Each structure stands twice: as C-alpha cells, then as structure tokens.
Chains A and B, each alone.
Chain A
Amino acid sequence: GQSLEQPSEVTAVEGAIVQINCTYQTSGFYGLSWYQQHDGGAPTFLSYNALDGLEETGRFSSFLSRSDSYGYLLLQELQMKDSASYFCAVRVIAGNNRKLIWGLGTSLAVNP
C-alpha cells in the first residue's frame, strides 16, 4: 500500500527552529508537497520538491531525499503565527493518473 508517516505533534518556542519529518512508502513517486492549515482555516501550499535537495522560501525550507523516501519541512525563527497543522503530501503516478497521498498532519504548537 501507499503510506506517509509524520509526527502527530511538535512543540517549540518562539525564535527556535523546528523540523517536521515525513517518510513515505509509495510507488510511482513524483514529488513531495507541504501544506499549512491553521485551525478553522483552509490548507495553504508551502512548498514542493521533485528533486533531491533543499528548497528555501523565506523562513521555511523543505528537503527531499528520494533514495531514503524521506523529506522534511524546516521552520526557522518560529513565530506564534506558525502554530498550525502541517501536512506532507506525496504525488504519485498510478497508471495514467497522478494522485496525491496525504499524511495525517503534524500539529505544531509555538509557545512564547
């Protein structure tokens, strides 16, 4: 089957750095995405990695290692507003279709 694993909860303090890992077991891997969702809000796209390496967008970076079936989201200089759920999602090719497989999400709590 196809599955993704990410921690259910992470806690950190303002100004710190936190890393949210995502490991996947899928066939037909195409790319790894990250989405952020605040309580009561819509998920919003953060980043996408199709190739190995680090992608940086401001305070957020995302990393992918296809050989290890592993990726992570790195959040630097944490702010209270970063408290949210973070979902990794793997895009796979299944036959003629491309599907998204979602993790269950990581709830990040940023404390003062």
Chain B
Amino acid sequence: KAGVTQTPRYLIKTRGQQVTLSCSPISGHRSVSWYQQTPGQGLQFLFEYFSETQRNKGNFPGRFSGRQFSNSRSEMNVSTLELGDSALYLCATSMGTGDSPLHFGNGTRLTVT
C-alpha cells in the first residue's frame, strides 16, 4: 500500500510570492490534515478536509488556504509569503472516523528568502 505522498519535497520562494503544496493520501483515506512544523513550536494544525469539506481549522491567517478534490487529494496554498512561513509542512491522512491514527507524509520543506 503506497504511503502519503507530498510534493514537492523542497521549495525556495521569495517574500511576497505564493506557493501550492500537494498531498496524495493513502488509498481509502478520506481525511487530510495539514500541519506546520518549526523548531520549538511542535506541530501547528492548519486545517483538516474530509470529503472535500473543511472540517476543522487552526489559528492561521487567511493567507493559508486549502482544498480537497473528489479523489481525496489535497492542496495547500500560501499567498503573500513571509519569512516566518519557512517551515516543514506536513500532510497527514486517515480514514477520518473515530480514533483512526494519522499517517504522515515526509513533508515539504519551504524556505522563504
């Protein structure tokens, strides 16, 4: 069974640009969550999508947005990039029901210069 696939693995962008990250879940997983990870801040929850609908949202500004497609693949977009957006962005997928564990992708390392 293929794991969670995130693309690209690395990105370098300049301030003010926008970026789109992609996540392909494990087959059968309908929930996709996005996290931002920076040293000392742990995993910061961005949002969760389930069946193409945003089910939960963290405390990030509106520059961070996402969507989910009918095949459960998800994209995350960050507009007007800031230096502080430099981080590892992790996608986690699950069946989305009850206590189903999260399966994480290897992440996208975003550097904003």
Contact B56 A41, beta carbon cutoff 8 Å: no
Residues of B within 8 A of A99 (CB): 45, 56
Contact with B along A94-112 (1 / 0, CB 8 A): 0001011011110000000
Contact with B along A32-58 (1 / 0, CB 8 A): 010100000111110010100000000
Q: How far is the CA of A80 from the CA of B52 in the complex (A)?
A: 42
Q: Is there a chain B Cβ closer than 8 Å to A31's Cβ?
A: yes
- Indicate whether A31 sits within 8 Å of B55 (C-beta atoms), given known contacts A42-B104, A43-B90: no
Binds A, one of B13-21, B35-43, B66-74, B78-86: B35-43
Contact B101 A45, beta carbon cutoff 8 Å: yes
Seen from chain B, the residues whose Cβ lies within 8 Å of a Cβ on chain A are 4, 33, 40-43, 45, 55-56, 90, 92, 99, 101-107
Q: Is there a chain B Cβ closer than 8 Å to A72's Cβ?
A: no
Contact A103 B104, beta carbon cutoff 8 Å: no
Residues of B within 8 A of A31 (CB): 99
Contact A104 B90, beta carbon cutoff 8 Å: no
Q: Is there a chain B Cβ closer than 8 Å to A87's Cβ?
A: yes
Residues of A within 8 A of B104 (CB): 42-44
Q: How far is the CA of A45 from the CA of B99 in the complex (A)?
A: 12
Residues of B within 8 A of A104 (CB): 40-42
A-side interface residues, number (CB < 8 Å): 20
Q: How far is the CA of A104 from the CA of B43 in the complex (A)?
A: 7
Contact B99 A48, beta carbon cutoff 8 Å: yes
Instruction: Identify the 4 closest CB pairs spanning chains A and B, nearest first.
Output: A45-B101, A42-B104, A104-B42, A102-B43
CB distance from A20 to the nearest CB of B (A): 14
CB distance from A93 to the nearest CB of B (A): 11
Residues of A within 8 A of B92 (CB): 43
From B4, B42, B106, B107, contact of A102 by CB (8 A):
B42
Count chain A CB atoms within 10 A of each CB in B40, B41, B55, B104 and give the residue with the most.
B104
Residues of A within 8 A of B106 (CB): 41-42
Contact B101 A42, beta carbon cutoff 8 Å: no
CB distance from B37 to the nearest CB of A (A): 9
